[in-house]
């Protein structure tokens, strides 16, 4: 039996059936280097999705791997009940990058867990127990995170555990008026939102949205949680996307690119809010020594190579070139994003979402050696989240392949 068929059979037999892959015949990925991935047949792909915004500093980045291996050889694991240095050094480095008074970190292992912790902290800090969230948002797989995830596709278990109120997303002009009505009527502990909704289809809010949201939350004593799990660490051209609008949330949650592939996540907050959480709170894998060493090396790499500027510059270039393609291609109804977080929305001739076309384009680009992503409420948004180390020439090659795929399919 072929290698591929053997793996698929094992997957069908041993994994919970909720695990799906992109592509009709997914490549078996065996190696990564810089912006490239390689499959078991030796085929090379330009990775334009970064394992969903994770490997911003490139696959198998030698500097990050070296830091992790050095730590691995010394001491791999202790848990937070013992005193170790890497977690403290990482917390201090993070506090030098976060906006305003956000200074204290709680480390854990995944984005869902970071959001779960942030929501719990908002309850502790306010004495309130209800949450508001945006309809096109995604915040994770744990029960509370699912309850505040608006995207229907990811609301695996729709039975609410806490009282959570969905409000229309940032594109709806009435979004904040509806939120204000809710804040007047109910005792809301926190509003949780992604600065740019990633899975929702790379939805960039109007420039005044986050400043107005900040004001409303402060006015009603509600905490503002920014889920920066996709957007942080220079993805949008800033360390944190909320910095585009000069907004300091009460809590920021991070994960994904912080460890460049090593599992690490955190919620970060102020002295004042953190002071409400004094009962013992340990996390077995929180502050894992190897993940912290890798995260520190990741942040050093980002700084040394100015990945924020690079993301902004190359993102503007990619967006501009995509807009040129849009002018020639009526199927593309919108190109949007910030930095190297870019979505291209595709609609069919009736102006309805075109998810099947997106799938065809993904397949075609995969065959040409480019792995891109998809997102959106209608799964009709081609999504570009390449490693921030990508070169301009590689973006040019991607655009040639994309244009070819669009010509063939439209
Ligand atoms: C914005 C956002 N929040 C939370 C999560 C959940 O993170 P994790 O898969 O690490 O639990 C994701 C995952 O894609 C995400 O995109």
Q: Is 231 in the pocket of ligand 1 (CB under 6 A)?
A: no
Q: What is the mean pLDDT of the segment spanning 286-298?
A: 97
Tokens 């490693």 locate to 387
- Distance (Å) from CA 229 to ligand 1 centroid: 6
Q: Which of 195-199, 227-231, 406-410 has the lowest mean pLDDT?
A: 406-410
Ligand 1 mean position, distance from CA 202 (Å): 14
Parallel, antiparallel, or unpaired: how do β-strands 223-227 and 373-375 relate? unpaired
* Side-by-side strand order, sheet with 36-39: 29-33, 36-39, 44-47, 370-371
Asked if pLDDT for residue 409 goes beyond 70, the answer is no
Task: Give the fold, CATH level 3, of 62-304.
Answer: 3.40.640
**The ligand 1 atom nearest the CA atom of 256:** 10
Quick check: 158 pLDDT over 80?
no
Mean pLDDT in residue range 181-210: 98
| Domain boundaries of the chain, sorted by first residue | 14-61+306-409, 62-304
- Higher local confidence (pLDDT), 156 or 332: 332
Question: For position 410, what pLDDT does the model report?
Answer: 60
Alpha carbon separation from 300 to 104, 168, 249 (Å, rounded):
20, 38, 24
For residue 408, pLDDT over 90 is answered with no
From the CB of 198, is ligand 1 less than 6 Å away? yes
pLDDT on residue 313: 98
Is 259's pLDDT higher than 80?
A: yes
Is the pLDDT assigned to residue 382 strictly greater than 70? yes
* Closest ligand 1 atom number to CA of residue 140: 6
pLDDT at 299: 98
Q: How far apart are CA 84 and CA 165, in angstroms?
A: 40
Give the span between the Cα atoms of 388 and 404, in whole angstroms.
Answer: 24
pLDDT of residue 125: 98
Q: What is the pLDDT of residues 96-155, one digit of tens each?
A: 999 999 999 999 999 999 999 999 999 999 999 999 999 999 999 999 999 999 999 999
Phi, psi of 32 (to 5 degrees): -135, 145
Q: What is the dihedral of CA 50, 56, 57, 58, to 10 degrees?
A: 10
The CB of 112 under 6 Å from ligand 1? The reply is: yes
Reported as a single tens digit per residue, the pLDDT across 206-236 is 999 999 999 999 999 999 999 999 999 999 9
Q: Quick check: helix, strand or coil at residue 336?
A: strand
Residues contacting 165, CB < 8 A, separation 6+: 130, 131, 132, 133, 182, 186, 188
The two tokens of residue 167 are 């409000």
User: Do the strands 104-108 and 130-134 form a parallel or antiparallel pair, or are they unpaired?
Assistant: unpaired
Report the pLDDT averaged over residues 60-87.
96
- Domain 14-61+306-409 shares a fold with domain 62-304: no
| pLDDT of amino acid 287 | 94
- pLDDT per residue as tens digits for the range 7-56: 999 999 999 999 999 999 999 999 999 999 999 999 999 999 999 999 99
Report d(CA 341, CA 57) in Å as an integer. Answer: 15
Q: Among residues of the chain, what percentage have pLDDT more than 70? A: 99
Q: Is 240's pLDDT higher than 80?
A: yes
pLDDT for 160: 72
Half-sphere exposure of 41 (CA within 13 A, CB side): 9
Residue nearest to atom 9 of ligand 1 (CA): 111
Task: Please provide the average confidence, as pLDDT, over all residues in the chain.
Answer: 96
Please determine, for residue 399, whether its predicted confidence score (pLDDT) is greater than 80: yes
Q: Is the dihedral of CA 379, 380, 381, 387 positive or negative?
A: positive
For residue 271, the tally of other CB atoms under 10 A from its CB is 10
CATH architecture of 14-61+306-409: Alpha-Beta Complex (3.90)
């Amino acid at each position: 039996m072929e290698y591929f068929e053997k793996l698929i059979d094992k997957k069908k037999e041993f994994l919970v059936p909720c695990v799906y892959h992109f592509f009709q015949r997914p490549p078996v990925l065996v190696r990564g280097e810089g912006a490239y991935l390689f499959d078991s047949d030796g085929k090379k792909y330009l990775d334009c999705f970064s394992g969903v915004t994770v490997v911003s500093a490139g696959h198998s980045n030698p500097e990050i791997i070296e830091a992790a291996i050095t730590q691995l050889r010394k001491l791999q694991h202790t848990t937070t009940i013992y005193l170790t240095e890497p977690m403290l050094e990482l917390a201090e480095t993070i506090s030098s990058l976060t906006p305003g008074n956000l200074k204290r970190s709680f480390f854990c292992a995944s984005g869902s867990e970071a959001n779960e912790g942030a929501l719990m902290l908002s309850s502790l800090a306010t004495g309130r127990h209800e949450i508001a969230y945006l309809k096109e948002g995604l915040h994770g797989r744990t029960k509370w995170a699912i309850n505040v995830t608006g995207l229907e596709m990811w609301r695996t278990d729709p039975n609410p555990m806490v009282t959570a109120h969905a409000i229309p997303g940032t594109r709806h002009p009435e979004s904040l008026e509806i939120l204000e009505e809710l804040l007047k009527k109910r005792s809301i502990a926190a509003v949780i939102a992604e600065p740019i909704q990633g899975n929702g289809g790379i939805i960039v809010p109007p420039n005044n949205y986050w400043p107005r949201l900040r004001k409303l939350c402060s006015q009603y004593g509600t905490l503002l949680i920014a889920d920066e799990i996709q957007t942080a660490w220079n993805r949008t051209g800033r360390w944190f996307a909320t910095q585009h609008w000069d907004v300091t949330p009460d809590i920021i949650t991070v994960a994904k690119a912080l460890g460049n592939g090593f599992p690490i996540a955190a919620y970060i907050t102020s002295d004042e809010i953190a002071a409400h959480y004094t009962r013992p709170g340990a996390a077995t894998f929180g502050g894992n020594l190897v993940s912290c060493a890798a995260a520190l090396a990741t942040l050093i790499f980002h700084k040394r190579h100015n990945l924020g500027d690079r993301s902004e510059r190359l993102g503007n270039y990619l967006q501009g070139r995509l807009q040129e393609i849009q002018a020639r291609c009526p199927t593309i109804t919108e190109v949007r994003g910030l930095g190297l977080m870019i979505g291209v929305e595709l609609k069919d001739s009736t102006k309805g979402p075109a998810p099947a076309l997106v799938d065809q384009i993904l397949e075609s680009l995969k065959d040409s050696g480019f792995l891109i992503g998809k997102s959106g409420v209608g799964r009709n948004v081609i999504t570009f989240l390449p490693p921030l180390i990508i070169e301009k020439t590689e973006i040019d090659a991607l655009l040639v392949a994309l244009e070819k795929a669009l010509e063939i399919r439209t």
